[in-house]
């Protein structure tokens, strides 16, 4: 389970660079009623559809709330973060570990499913809790590396020369303090056969301030290829401030990609997906994957039918240049790569 915010990161609680975004996180919304109020949504009208007793708690930074439309119950950003009673539906085939992550865990917090790449759970914390998250039931507490485990992880990567890319995931790796993150990145960059470091993150979508000058500086000093995969699902997430923060990454040579999840009533619409791809491109980002929802317990109400997915794929191909059409994929437990949806 995701454990909340790593504010207690003691390494650098005194560190000036991290105070702005950490205080933005501290003021995040943690209560669905508060969220409704901020959006001028009438509690009496909507509260009976909202789930109040959730184990995967509401967590929404105010800057994400600011991108939502007031008074709009169907707002596509609100729908990604508001727990609905529909999450309680026990749907057939929806599991707590739908993508077989626990089987792929080669040691604590280290997932190896695919050739040449290893994925590290760097922290259990996220800056937002997405209701469709396939890791919502993942036992993170046991997977966040302490110093000893980190040395073991490094030793494992060093001893396997087939690993050329290390993926920092979580949770969200940008929730770590600069001190921790920089040390991790440096350790990995020092391994000769590791040529690429990849971040998967949602943080810049609502905490653009996380990409501080200090962060950009040390990142630019790493002598390793850096890829950042954003997880945006809707063009409304990509505002001006986000675009500016991406420029900073582009300037230091970071490759920017995006992966989205197809979500019913949020982005399962050709116009919305076209707009998302175009907006990503304006921000210097290429669409990478569009995932069919992982069948995680509590997310059945987000599922888009396979027929509809096929139609959407066809429409995107007809309307966009090839480089703006994301690869439609599904994660299938035990397969050697993410499965194309055809």
User: Least separation, in Å, of the C-beta of 124 and ligand SF4?
Assistant: 9
Q: Does residue number 228 form part of the binding site for ligand SF4 (CB under 6 A)?
A: no
Q: In what order do the strands lie in the sheet with 110-111?
A: 105-107, 110-111, 117-121, 165-169, 196-201, 225-230, 255-261, 286-291, 327-330, 339-340
Instruction: From 203, 209, 233, select the one nearest 77 (Cα to Cα).
Output: 233
DSSP string, 244-274: HHHHHHHHTT-EEEEEEE--TTTT-SHHHHH
CA distance 58 to 32: 7
- Residue 202: name its binding partner from ligand SF4, ligand PLP, none (Cβ under 5 to 8 Å by kind): ligand SF4
Q: Does residue number 129 form part of the binding site for ligand SF4 (CB under 6 A)?
A: yes
CA distance 63 to 66: 5
CA 164 vs CA 154, 195, 197: distances in Å: 13, 5, 9
Pick 119 or 205: Cβ nearer ligand PLP: 119
Pick 262 or 320: Cβ nearer ligand SF4: 262
Structural contact between residues 16 and 1, judged by C-beta atoms closer than 8 angstroms:
no
Structure tokens at 112: 């190896």
Q: Which stretch binds ligand SF4 (CB under 6 A): 169-177, 268-276, 278-286, 305-313?
A: 169-177
**End-to-end C-alpha distance for the chain, whole angstroms:** 33
Pick 204 or 287: Cβ nearer ligand SF4: 204
Q: Does residue number 246 form part of the binding site for ligand SF4 (CB under 6 A)?
A: no
User: Least separation, in Å, of the C-beta of 198 and ligand PLP?
Assistant: 8
CA distance 342 to 340: 6
User: Least separation, in Å, of the C-beta of 89 and ligand SF4?
Assistant: 20
CA distance 126 to 226: 21
User: Least separation, in Å, of the C-beta of 152 and ligand SF4?
Assistant: 23
Cβ neighbours of 164 (radius 10 Å): 15
Q: At what angle do helices 213-221 and 240-251 cross, to 10 degrees?
A: 30
If binding means CB under 6 A, how many residues of this protein chain bind ligand SF4? 11
CA 207 vs CA 60, 127, 164, 174, 297: distances in Å: 11, 8, 30, 10, 28
Backbone angles phi, psi at 156, to 5 degrees: -60, -45
Backbone angles phi, psi at 169, to 5 degrees: -130, -160
User: Least separation, in Å, of the C-beta of 119 and ligand SF4?
Assistant: 12
- Residue 133: name its binding partner from ligand SF4, ligand PLP, none (Cβ under 5 to 8 Å by kind): ligand SF4
- Residue 172: name its binding partner from ligand SF4, ligand PLP, none (Cβ under 5 to 8 Å by kind): ligand SF4
Q: Does residue number 172 form part of the binding site for ligand SF4 (CB under 6 A)?
A: yes
Pick 21 or 138: Cβ nearer ligand PLP: 138
- Residue 128: name its binding partner from ligand SF4, ligand PLP, none (Cβ under 5 to 8 Å by kind): ligand SF4
Q: Does residue number 165 form part of the binding site for ligand SF4 (CB under 6 A)?
A: no
User: Least separation, in Å, of the C-beta of 188 and ligand PLP?
Assistant: 15
CA distance 110 to 173: 14
- Residue 130: name its binding partner from ligand PLP, ligand SF4, none (Cβ under 5 to 8 Å by kind): ligand SF4
Q: Does residue number 121 form part of the binding site for ligand SF4 (CB under 6 A)?
A: no
Instruction: From 198, 195, 135, 147, select the one nearest 171 (Cα to Cα).
Output: 135
Residues contributing to the site for ligand PLP (CB under 6 A): 104, 111, 113-114, 117, 119, 167, 338
User: Least separation, in Å, of the C-beta of 44 and ligand SF4?
Assistant: 29
Q: Does residue number 133 form part of the binding site for ligand SF4 (CB under 6 A)?
A: yes
Q: Does residue number 39 form part of the binding site for ligand SF4 (CB under 6 A)?
A: no
Q: Residue numbers of the site for ligand SF4 (CB under 6 A)?
A: 126, 128-130, 133, 135, 170-172, 202, 231
């Amino acid at each position: 389970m995701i454990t909340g915010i790593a504010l207690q990161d003691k390494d650098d609680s005194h560190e000036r660079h991290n105070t702005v975004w950490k205080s933005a996180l501290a003021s995040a919304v943690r209560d669905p009623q508060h969220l409704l109020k901020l959006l001028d949504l009438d509690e009496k009208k909507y509260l009976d559809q909202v789930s109040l007793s959730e184990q995967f708690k509401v967590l929404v930074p105010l800057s994400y709330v600011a991108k939502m439309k007031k008074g709009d119950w169907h707002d596509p950003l609100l729908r990604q973060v508001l727990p609905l009673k529909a999450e309680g539906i026990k749907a057939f085939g929806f599991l707590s570990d739908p993508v077989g992550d626990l089987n792929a865990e080669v040691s604590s917090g280290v997932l190896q499913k695919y050739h040449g790449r290893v994925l590290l759970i760097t922290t259990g914390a996220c800056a937002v809790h997405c209701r469709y998250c396939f890791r919502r039931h993942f036992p993170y507490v046991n997977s966040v590396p302490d110093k000893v485990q980190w040395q073991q992880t490094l030793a494992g990567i060093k001893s396997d020369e087939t690993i050329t890319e290390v993926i920092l995931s979580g949770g969200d790796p940008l929730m770590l303090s600069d001190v921790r993150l920089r040390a991790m990145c440096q350790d990995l960059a020092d391994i000769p056969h590791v040529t690429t470091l990849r971040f998967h993150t949602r943080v810049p979508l609502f905490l653009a301030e996380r990409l501080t000058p200090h962060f950009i500086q040390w990142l630019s000093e790493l002598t390793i290829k850096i890829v950042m995969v954003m997880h945006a699902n809707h063009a409304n997430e990509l505002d001006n401030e986000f675009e500016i923060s991406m420029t900073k990454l582009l300037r230091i040579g970071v490759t920017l990609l995006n992966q989205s999840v197809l979500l019913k009533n949020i982005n399962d619409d050709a116009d919305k997906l076209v707009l998302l791809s175009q907006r990503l491109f304006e921000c210097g980002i290429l669409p990478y994957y569009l995932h069919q929802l992982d069948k995680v317990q509590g997310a059945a109400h987000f599922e888009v039918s396979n027929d509809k997915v096929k139609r959407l794929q066809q429409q995107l191909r007809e309307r966009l240049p090839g480089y703006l059409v994301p690869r439609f994929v599904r994660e299938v437990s035990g397969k050697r790569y993410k499965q194309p949806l055809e």
